[in-house]
């Protein structure tokens, strides 16, 4: 019987990869499992928050009593975020691994194998930065991002915090094979304008409980 201290708050969380169509049968994506975002959604729901989970295609089950909006592309993910936050949300957490690029023009029909060339060139364009867009429009009172880095983790994370206009960033070192991405465990550093906090390495579900606790208690100071 958990403390229901987040009752009345709306938390919006993105999770999983995005899937960018090349043609009707092919796509560009990444190996994000969605585990961290889903664990955060479950942890916030357990504390009484009204949770909307906007998720790219993943193979894990939706936590009980969490409102799920399945999406594929980054454009769809951004549109879903804007729709559910028409009324300003309390907390937004961007845990999705959004594809950096999409096709400049996805093909309507399955692309035919070219017989006259051994090369194929696809023209890609940048996807919208979902969290930066939401931050610039202040669609949530507290906006929290993730920074998966392989080097200079703290410097890059602090830069991302400022550049994207976030209130908090959860940084992890994805060059380590024991944590992050498809792993069940994670170790992160939580950074705000003027604080850093490093919880112990833990199972993603347990870490999510600590993170939600930390966000809940720093909400009024930081956001």
Active site residues: 30
Least Cβ distance, residue 130 to ligand C5P (angstroms): 3
Least Cβ distance, residue 172 to ligand C5P (angstroms): 11
Q: Is 55 in the site for ligand C5P (CB under 6 A)?
A: no
74 or 190: whose CB is closer to ligand C5P? 74
Interface map 118-157 toward ligand C5P (x if CB under 6 A):
---------x-xxx-------------xxx----------
Instruction: Restricting to residues 56-115, name those near ligand C5P by CB under 6 A.
Output: 74, 94, 96, 98
111 or 132: whose CB is closer to ligand C5P? 132
Least Cβ distance, residue 37 to ligand C5P (angstroms): 9
> Could you give the C-alpha distances from 66 to 21, 37, 48, 96, 123, in angstroms and in order?
27, 12, 11, 16, 37
Alpha carbon distance 35, 124 (integer Å): 28
Instruction: Give CA angle at 220 (7, 15), nearest 5°.
Output: 60
Structure tokens at 124: 């890609």
DSSP codes of every residue in 197-223: E-PPPEEHHHHHHHHHHHHHHHHHHH-
48 or 57: whose CB is closer to ligand C5P? 57
Is 110 annotated as a binding-site member?
yes
> Could you give the C-alpha distances from 71 to 16, 75, 76, in angstroms and in order?
10, 9, 6
Q: Could you tell me how many residues of this chain bind ligand C5P (CB under 6 A)?
A: 13
Instruction: From 10, 63, 47, select the one nearest 214 (Cα to Cα).
Output: 47
3-state DSSP call for residue 77? Answer: helix
Least Cβ distance, residue 129 to ligand C5P (angstroms): 4
**Residue at token pair 């995005």:** 18
Instruction: Restricting to residues 153-182, name those near ligand C5P by CB under 6 A.
Output: 160
Binding residues: 100, 110, 128-131, 146, 160, 164
Using CB under 6 A as the criterion, which residues of the chain lie in contact with ligand C5P when the complex forms? Answer: 14, 74, 94, 96, 98, 127, 129-131, 145-147, 160
């Amino acid at each position: 019987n958990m403390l229901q201290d987040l009752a009345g708050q709306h938390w919006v969380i993105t999770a999983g990869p995005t899937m960018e169509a090349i043609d009707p049968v092919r796509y560009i994506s990444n190996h994000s499992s969605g585990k961290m975002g889903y664990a955060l959604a479950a942890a916030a729901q357990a504390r009484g928050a009204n949770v909307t989970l906007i998720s790219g295609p993943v193979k894990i089950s939706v936590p009980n009593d969490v409102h799920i909006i399945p999406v594929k592309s980054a454009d769809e993910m951004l549109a879903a975020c804007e729709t559910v936050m028409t009324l300003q949300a309390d907390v937004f957490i961007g845990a999705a691994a959004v594809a950096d690029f999409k096709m400049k023009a996805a093909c309507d029909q399955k692309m035919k194998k070219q017989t006259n060339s051994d090369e194929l060139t696809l023209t890609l364009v940048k996807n919208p930065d979902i969290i930066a867009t939401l931050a610039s429009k202040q669609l949530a009172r507290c906006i929290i991002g993730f920074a998966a880095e392989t080097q200079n983790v703290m410097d890059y994370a602090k830069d991302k915090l400022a550049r994207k206009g976030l209130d908090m960033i959860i940084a992890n070192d994805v060059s380590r094979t024991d944590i992050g991405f498809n792993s069940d465990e994670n170790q992160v550093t939580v950074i705000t304008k003027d604080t850093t906090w490093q919880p112990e390495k833990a199972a993603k579900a347990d870490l999510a409980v600590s993170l939600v606790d930390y966000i809940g208690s720093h909400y009024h100071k930081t956001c």
